[in-house]
């Protein structure tokens, strides 16, 4: 089985379409949450995800707030302004669809589980080895895919816990070692925050037991112009150019 892995699209249609154009044909799409928030195309992104022939989709924290499942009180002022705009922009049908998305973790197959934040809490950020240790204790599959941090990350738990990448570059490949377990973030499609403004996504081949983290350039200027035209905070457009 070949999976396309996308997370944290954040209503950035230009980045999302670039990923879909660059990715090879896959059997199934895994969407790890935060379809909306920050960007100016929430309905177009949701419509695109809903149109996938075969996909597993879970919610993110921005999705929950945009759908009215939780208040925006825990968001910073930029995220709160963006999600309030998103709440008004979403069609009723798309808002209801987002509200019905399941939380993670979700078991995908015998190799993979997926979550937004972590396998022990859908809203927790997983950054360092202490977080990874807790994630490995909670995970139920050899490979746990997560998002939320917007930073590509690969942890391996074999003879010892190791951070194994990925470095900057257009592609980073990992072949799963026998008996080892992995916690992997393939990065953010629409809001990279590792200093690389290119959209990030992942590919998983279960037969070959490989995980690939890839980057693709997209029309950042078009996405920025839409954010400004929508009246969203200017910094949300600026950060797309820096990947921060």
Q: What is the pLDDT of residue 158?
A: 75
Q: Name the band, by pLDDT with cuts 50, 70 and 90, for residue 166.
A: confident
Q: What is the pLDDT of residue 159?
A: 65
Cβ pair 233, 82 in contact under 8 A: yes
**72-127 pLDDT per residue, tens:** 888 899 999 999 999 999 999 999 999 999 999 999 999 999 999 999 999 999 99
Q: What angle, rounded to 10 degrees, do the helices at 13-22 and 42-50 form?
A: 30
Q: What is the pLDDT of residue 72?
A: 87
Tally of domains within the chain: 1
Q: What average pLDDT is seen over the chain?
A: 95
Q: Read off the CATH number of the domain in which 166 is found.
A: 3.60.21.10
3-state helix, strand, coil in the chain (%, to 5): 30, 25, 45
SS (H, E, C) 119-159: CCCCCCCCCCHHHHHHHHHHCCCCEEEECCCCCCEEEEECC
| Domain, as residue range, for 146 | 2-242
Q: What is the pLDDT of residue 73?
A: 82
How many whole angstroms separate alpha carbon 3 and alpha carbon 196? 23
Q: Name the band, by pLDDT with cuts 50, 70 and 90, for residue 164.
A: confident
Q: Which helix (H) or strand (E) holds 3?
A: strand 2-6
**171-218 pLDDT per residue, tens:** 899 999 999 999 999 999 999 999 999 999 999 999 999 999 999 999
Cβ pair 95, 103 in contact under 8 A: no
Whether residue 162 is predicted with pLDDT greater than 80 in this model: the reply is no
Q: What is the pLDDT of residue 86?
A: 97
Q: What is the pLDDT of residue 161?
A: 80
Whether residue 144 is predicted with pLDDT greater than 90 in this model: the reply is yes
Q: Name the band, by pLDDT with cuts 50, 70 and 90, for residue 4.
A: very high
């Amino acid at each position: 089985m070949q999976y396309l892995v996308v997370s944290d699209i954040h209503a950035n249609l230009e980045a999302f379409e670039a990923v879909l154009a660059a990715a090879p044909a896959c059997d199934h799409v895994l969407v790890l949450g935060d379809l909306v928030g920050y960007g100016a195309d929430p309905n177009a992104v949701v419509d695109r995800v809903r149109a996938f022939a075969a996909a597993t989709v879970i919610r993110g924290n921005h999705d929950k707030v945009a759908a009215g499942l939780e208040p925006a009180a825990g968001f910073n002022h930029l995220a709160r302004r963006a999600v309030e705009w998103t709440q008004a922009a979403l069609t009723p049908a798309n808002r209801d669809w987002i509200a019905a998305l399941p939380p993670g973790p979700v078991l995908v197959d015998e190799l993979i589980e997926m979550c937004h934040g972590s396998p022990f809490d859908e809203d927790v950020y997983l950054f360092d080895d202490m977080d990874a240790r807790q994630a490995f204790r909670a995970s139920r599959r050899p490979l746990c895919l997560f998002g939320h941090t917007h930073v590509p990350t690969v942890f391996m738990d074999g003879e010892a816990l190791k951070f194994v990448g990925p470095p900057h570059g257009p592609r980073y490949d990992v072949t799963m070692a026998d008996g080892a377990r992995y916690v992997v973030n393939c990065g953010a499609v629409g809001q990279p925050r590792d200093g690389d403004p290119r959209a990030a996504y992942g590919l998983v081949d279960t037969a070959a037991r490989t995980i690939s983290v890839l980057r693709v350039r997209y029309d950042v200027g078009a996405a920025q112009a839409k954010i400004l035209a929508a009246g969203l905070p200017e910094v949300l457009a600026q950060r797309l150019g820096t990947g921060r």
